[in-house]
Amino acid sequence: MSDLGFLATVLIFLAAGVIVAPIFQRLRSSLVLGYLVAGVIIGPHALGLVANEERTRGIAELGVVALMFTIGLELTIDRLRVVRRHVFGVGTTQVLVTALVIGVIAALAGAEPRAAILIGGALAMSSTAVVLQILAERGGLATRVGRVAFAVLLLQDMAVVPLLALVPALAGPESQLVPTVLETLAKAAVALVAIFALGRLVLRPVFRIFAIGSVPELFAAVTLLVLLGTSFATHEFGLSLGIGGFLAGILLAETEYRHQVAADIQPFRGLLLGLFFMTVGMAVDLPLIAQQVWPIVGLTVALIVVKSALLALLCRFSGLPWGASIHAGLLLGQGSEFAFVVIGSAAAVRLIDPAVGDFLVVVVALTMAATPLLAAMGQRLDRRFEVHRVNTTQHVEEETSDLKDHAIVAGFGRVGQSVSRMLNAAGQPYVAFELDANRVAAARRHGLPVYYGDASRVEVLRAAGAGRARTAVIILDNAAAAENTVSVLHHNFPAVKTFVRARDHRHRRRLEAVGAQNVVHETYELSLQLGERALRGMGVPDTLAEEIVTRHRADDYALLSDIIFPDATLVEDEETKRRRPAAKAPTGR
């Protein structure tokens, strides 16, 4: 009989995740916390359903690999360019200062220097999974606080790589610490160069072959091969599997296959991460918590206060107003899922006492559980500070000074909100202007980058960074105001691409006359969509329906300049035109 113990372990993990995760979803809490609780329940300190650490350790390592891979995929040049000022300003300073402060506190509390370094680095990180989930739910990624939070998280994610590489170096003899660190850095450099050189030569051709083959299973298999192969290679170099996953993600981040790779890996990532967090939960010692409730609560509060205060001060020094600074500090005041990885790795090599590791795991989990409440408090405080600020062009200029290659949205009605929501979903920054004060106030209450202002005034556009913007979307109800806005943009900011809504054909012509580049005729576009659906409903093949719509649109709206069906050539094929009898010349009377 074959040993089915591993299968039984996997079934227990899956059952626990399936039961507990939906409960936390219903409670609008983080799934990370749900998986941690599930791990506690099935672990050796509760029901004791899973106790084989060798089996669970392999699952945990695969979860870390998947997490690091998706982080690498996010590190595109475009994303770094948008938030580079905050990444290499606030982000770098936050990691260094917070790690130093927490490390000193840990050393004063009795931790060895090497343990204090790792504890400081681990607790300096914030939870990417929890914070981005909250920002996405509240539409906050496009706000200034959202941009700062994303930049800080991005830098923290990158900082995890050297921190993980530091664990085995610190675990060696103290006399060999410097040579070991230098050797680890040298190995990392060699691995980095070798993997990037090979990846540049091989990855694109290989993915192109399997993409042309149009076999989804093979494409997903190649993705997993690259991920696991790179992780295995870094492990053979003496580095961690997680670093290999990170490098594999960076390699694919700048290829045209990035989005498909992310879609293919998403189910595996979610499953493996869930299993990873459950293995972390299994390590939580419940009797230890029962004995040290107040020290755990005290350290949880202290960690949140220290991190939030430091980050708020750094944000204020970088130019953010006090309200936004406090909001960002509270939003990022929790511990990170990476703390579980670093603390677990350090405890495994006895750099950190396992009991201390369990203690810190519980503290980090509690700070993550408090994040939704902290984020709501930060947003409320930000609104109170906002009430006392005058909405002037100086105010707009202060809040958008860090933007580049962003979009300016003129008009925040139903269409403007839909466009802004799409920009936010794609992670593209925008600034919106609206003359309805109630609508602006409602948007500001939700933390959206919407301001009261007339987008046809050059000083307003200049305050919004139009000289640095990439696009402008004009969706104004007033036709004359739309034309004025296009004209001002065309003459003062010619590099900005304009996308404008036209009411009718005459309005479209006037917009083009003042410099509009991309005009969408709302009535005609609606008719094309309705017509395409009607054709499909009549049984017309999809390809033919799409071709007819494309031909109508390619005719540049020519049909709108006349009355009904002046010319039927758009729907006639060449054979029909050849068979049609020639028209007789008109006769005068």
Where residue 341 sits, what CATH number does that domain have? 1.20.1530.20
CB 70 within 8 A of CB 265: yes
Residue 482 lies in a domain: yes
Strands 430-434 and 471-474: unpaired
Q: Are residues 333 and 195 in the same domain?
A: yes
Q: Is 320 exposed, middle or buried (0-12, 13-18, 19+ CB in 10 A)?
A: buried
CB 379 within 8 A of CB 124: no
Residue 298 lies in a domain: yes
φ and ψ at residue 249, rounded to 5 degrees: -65, -45
Q: What's residue 159's pLDDT?
A: 80
Determine if the pTM surpasses 0.85.
no
Q: Are residues 310 and 198 in the same domain?
A: yes
> Over the chain (589 residues), what is each successive 10-residue block's mean pLDDT?
65 83 76 80 80 65 76 67 67 88 89 87 84 70 76 80 76 66 70 68 72 68 82 74 78 74 74 77 74 87 93 85 86 85 82 84 84 84 65 65 83 86 79 84 79 84 86 86 88 89 80 83 72 78 78 57 40 42 40
Q: Are residues 201 and 303 in the same domain?
A: yes
Q: What's residue 68's pLDDT?
A: 75
Nearest residue to 380 (alpha-carbon basis) of 436, 429, 324: 324
Q: Is 389 exposed, middle or buried (0-12, 13-18, 19+ CB in 10 A)?
A: middle
Q: Give CA–CA dist 223/166, Å, rounded.
A: 28
Q: Give CA–CA dist 123/307, Å, rounded.
A: 9
Q: Give CA–CA dist 141/427, Å, rounded.
A: 7
φ and ψ at residue 57, rounded to 5 degrees: -65, -40
Q: Give CA–CA dist 190/237, Å, rounded.
A: 9
Q: Are residues 339 and 260 in the same domain?
A: yes
Side chain identity at residue 64, one-letter code: V
Q: Give CA–CA dist 34/19, Å, rounded.
A: 10
Sign of CA dihedral 231, 232, 236, 240: positive
Q: Give CA–CA dist 581/160, Å, rounded.
A: 76
**CA separation (Å) from 439 to 190, 413, 434?**
56, 8, 8
Where residue 509 sits, what CATH number does that domain have? 3.40.50.720
Neighbours of 180 (CB within 10 A): 18
Q: Are residues 242 and 325 in the same domain?
A: yes
Q: Are residues 255 and 121 in the same domain?
A: yes
Q: Give CA–CA dist 172/134, Å, rounded.
A: 40
Instruction: Locate 518 and state its tokens.
Output: 């991309």
Residue 426 lies in a domain: yes
- The partner residues of 254 in beta bridges, in order of sequence, read none
Residues of 266-304 as b/e, b for ≥16 C-beta within 10 angstroms? eebbebbbbbbbbbbbbbbbeeebeebeeebeebbeebb
Residue 589 lies in a domain: no
Nearest residue to 476 (alpha-carbon basis) of 416, 395, 425: 416
Q: How far apart are the first and last CA of the chain?
A: 104
Q: Are residues 336 and 259 in the same domain?
A: yes
Nearest residue to 364 (alpha-carbon basis) of 393, 333, 331: 333
Residue 277 lies in a domain: yes
**Where do we find the tokens 């980095």?**
192
- The partner residues of 519 in beta bridges, in order of sequence, read 500
Structural domain containing residue 321: 5-41+51-283+293-385
Q: Give CA–CA dist 331/312, Å, rounded.
A: 10
Residue 271 lies in a domain: yes
Neighbours of 136 (CB within 10 A): 14
Nearest residue to 555 (alpha-carbon basis) of 545, 567, 563, 564: 567
**CA separation (Å) from 392 to 47, 106, 396?**
60, 46, 6
Q: Are residues 60 and 193 in the same domain?
A: yes
Q: What is the dihedral of CA 121, 123, 128, 129, to 10 degrees?
A: 130
Q: Is 108 exposed, middle or buried (0-12, 13-18, 19+ CB in 10 A)?
A: exposed
Instruction: Write out 215-244 in H/E/C secondary structure.
Output: CHHHHHHHHHHHHHHHHHHHHHCCCCHHHH
Q: Are residues 135 and 229 in the same domain?
A: yes
CB 308 within 8 A of CB 333: yes
Side chain identity at residue 245, one-letter code: G
Residue 88 lies in a domain: yes
Q: Give CA–CA dist 328/315, Å, rounded.
A: 8
Q: Give CA–CA dist 335/306, Å, rounded.
A: 12
Q: Are residues 508 and 532 in the same domain?
A: no
Q: Give CA–CA dist 374/146, Å, rounded.
A: 15
Q: Give CA–CA dist 274/42, Å, rounded.
A: 14
| Overall domain count for the chain | 3
Instruction: Locate 252 and state its tokens.
Output: 């694919």
Q: What is the tally of helices (H) and strands (E) in the chain? A: 28, 6
Residue 380 lies in a domain: yes
Q: Are residues 317 and 357 in the same domain?
A: yes
